Amino acid sequence: MMFNSRHFLFTALSCGLISVPAVGLLGQQSAAPAPTQQAQPAAGQGSGQGQEADPMRRQLSDKERYRAQKELRRELKGPYKTWLNEEVPYIISDDERKAFMSLANDEEREAFIENFWQRRNPNPDSPENEFREEHYRRIQYANDHFAAGKPGWKTDRGHIYIAWGPADSIDSHPSGGMYERPMEEGGGETSTFPFEVWHYRYLEGMGENIDFEFVDTCQCGDYHFTIDRSEKDALKYVPGAGLTQWEEMNKQDKTNRFKGNGIEQLGTGPMGDANQGKEFDRIEMAAKAFAPPPVKFKDLESDLDAFNSSHKLMQGPVFNFDVRTDFVKVTDSMDLVPITLQIRNRDITFVTKDGVSKGVVNILGRVTTIMHKTVQTFEDTVEVNEPAELLEKSLDHRSLYWKALPLPPGLYRLDIAIKDVNNGDHIGIYGQSLNVPEFQDEKLGASSLILADQMNIVSSQQIGNGNFIISNMYVRPRVSENSKTPVSIKRTQSLNFWLQFYNLGIDEATKSNSATVTYQITDSTGAVILEKQLESKDLGAHSDQLTVEKTLPIAGLSPGKYKVTVKVNDAISKQEIAQSAPFIVE
């Protein structure tokens, strides 16, 4: 629900951006960018006067100059090349791709990308873009679940998932084995390779009851899309084995399956003609499946409304709150940045009515580049309800707000303003630099190490729906009261930690990784209290990305300061990386 005092909070936020000694600021102001220096000619590179003309150099014709400029425009590099070829290749239309390739400079490309997402925004009046956030969530999920010696987004299952979302149901046969064919495939019993059938009740532009079939013929985890339902039959080319019901009844061999030019070799039978007649439908379905989904929303202006730049002096007590930021890789040029706010009930003004005490907090945030360009905004309302008779006991409780933003690697500024709705002068401001890391290809990388107070696997219906969900896990971070104090955990609680490792080496022959993951707990003296090792193949044998999530009891630890460290040693790339996080046992 949007709140009514948006204008006021934008004013307060602008004040926090412009005024260096902002009231309630938790963190340091980011340094202003250094002025750009004009390029100077190097020694010996004058204007060319006094130099002999090169007879091999001549002025280009108009046609040659136009061709050179055209080729220069087509030579995309850096994040724009990654955006086009790795982040949106499955959802960008041919016309949009041609338009993007024809742009002449980075300013035009930035404007195009902004408008690209706005055209797909289901709620154009909102500063958030649910389509974009869902798209990058799907890429992350594909990388987590469909990797097969290559990133999950490059696989056929990843392609379909990113373009069309999760299936309504999946018929999965991860080990293959004995399979009773349905009559439309000829009936009878055979043995299959691992395969999956994804069923969608409805897909826009394709119709109802759409099935996508994927087969792992190499048995290496790489399921590829197929419109040939006989491809999963592991006995198709074995004489006398895996006969269809019709072949068994009429004592026929398999030779008739391979006569003609059909795309499927399901065998003859009562439904053979019907199967042949549907082949063009299956080809058409495949073409639509791998074409960009239709854009559902009308063209919109890409620029966000300008923030109010007027100043307003804040009055009243400072509304303190805590902020935690984490970083999770989505693609080589895009990170997911979960932002967690922690607000103490004691700092909220409650109004009691009908036996219920209610507190309301409005939250407004934005992310800007060092050149003050706004790249992300978010706003929301947090309500805290407590029984009136228990309000006093609940004042030491804390409320959490979570927002995950997709951001390219780079240096940004994060500004957040919160307002106590029941006390209009009670406002808090947070401002801090935000250095989103770049996870370079072929270089071992790691996400943030998150210590969570709650962590569990979610159902397929919950993936991407709700707060604190990263991929298929519910991970609610513990937030310290300031950046210098570790989080506290009671001995009666468990230590939950989550992180991911990226860009592990893949053996070309086996299409598998080979790494050792070690996690340990050390005390304040550095002594190792606990150490365990895991093999990467047990976490995901064919993936260049590993997710480590563990829950450890700490009842045996004495009160004091500790540190958890998670390290991976990659035997293939010969690289090692570790992440650590301190905590206090109460």
**Cβ pair 328, 500 in contact under 8 A:** yes
Task: Identify the pLDDT of residue 311.
Answer: 36
Which phi and psi angles does 306 have, rounded to 5°? -65, 140
| Tens-binned pLDDT, residue by residue, of the chain (586 aa) | 334 444 444 444 444 333 333 333 233 333 333 333 333 333 334 444 444 444 445 566 666 655 655 554 456 678 888 899 999 999 998 888 888 888 878 888 888 898 888 888 887 767 678 889 999 999 999 999 999 888 999 999 999 999 999 999 999 999 999 999 888 788 888 999 999 999 999 998 888 899 999 999 998 889 999 988 889 999 988 888 888 887 888 777 777 777 766 677 776 666 555 555 577 788 888 888 888 887 654 432 332 233 333 334 445 578 889 999 999 999 888 999 999 999 999 999 999 999 999 999 999 888 988 777 888 888 888 899 999 999 898 888 899 999 999 999 999 999 998 889 898 788 888 888 899 999 888 899 999 999 999 999 988 777 767 789 998 899 999 999 876 789 999 999 999 999 999 999 999 888 899 999 999 999 999 999 999 999 998 888 889 999 999 999 999 999 999 999 999 999 999 999 999 999 999 9
Cα four-point dihedral sign 475, 337, 567, 464: positive
Neighbours of 497 (CB within 10 A): 23
What does the alpha-carbon distance between residue 265 and residue 84 come to, in Å, rounded to a whole number? 38
Q: What Rg, from alpha-carbon coordinates, does the chain have?
A: 29
Task: Identify the pLDDT of residue 309.
Answer: 37
Neighbours of 408 (CB within 10 A): 18
**Cβ pair 452, 474 in contact under 8 A:** no
Task: Give, in order, the Cα–Cα distances in Å from 389 to each of 67, 354, 385, 393, 420.
Answer: 78, 11, 12, 9, 22
Record the tokens describing residue 291, joined without a space.
């074409």
Task: Identify the pLDDT of residue 432.
Answer: 87
What does the alpha-carbon distance between residue 446 and residue 344 come to, in Å, rounded to a whole number? 31
Task: Identify the pLDDT of residue 69.
Answer: 53
Task: Identify the pLDDT of residue 328.
Answer: 94
Task: Identify the pLDDT of residue 315.
Answer: 55
DSSP alpha helix (H) spans, 75-224: 78-82, 94-101, 106-118, 130-145, 156-164
Long-range CB pairs of 261-269, under 8 A, 24+ apart, other chains included: 263/227, 263/228, 264/227, 264/228, 264/229, 264/230, 265/228, 265/230, 265/236, 266/185, 266/186, 266/229, 266/230, 267/186, 267/243, 269/186, 269/187, 269/244, 269/245
Record the tokens describing residue 289, joined without a space.
């499946």
Which is nearest to 539 in space by CA: 530, 526, 527, 548? 548
Q: What pTM did the predictor assign?
A: 0.63
Q: Does domain 440-586 have CATH number 3.30.360.10?
A: no
**Cβ pair 157, 170 in contact under 8 A:** no
Long-range CB pairs of 256-262, under 8 A, 24+ apart, other chains included: 257/230
Residues found in the chain = 586
Q: Where are the domains of the chain?
A: 167-289, 440-586
What does the alpha-carbon distance between residue 256 and residue 270 come to, in Å, rounded to a whole number? 14
Task: Identify the pLDDT of residue 276.
Answer: 56
**Cβ pair 401, 476 in contact under 8 A:** no
What does the alpha-carbon distance between residue 327 and residue 340 come to, in Å, rounded to a whole number? 12
Strands 189-192 and 177-180: antiparallel
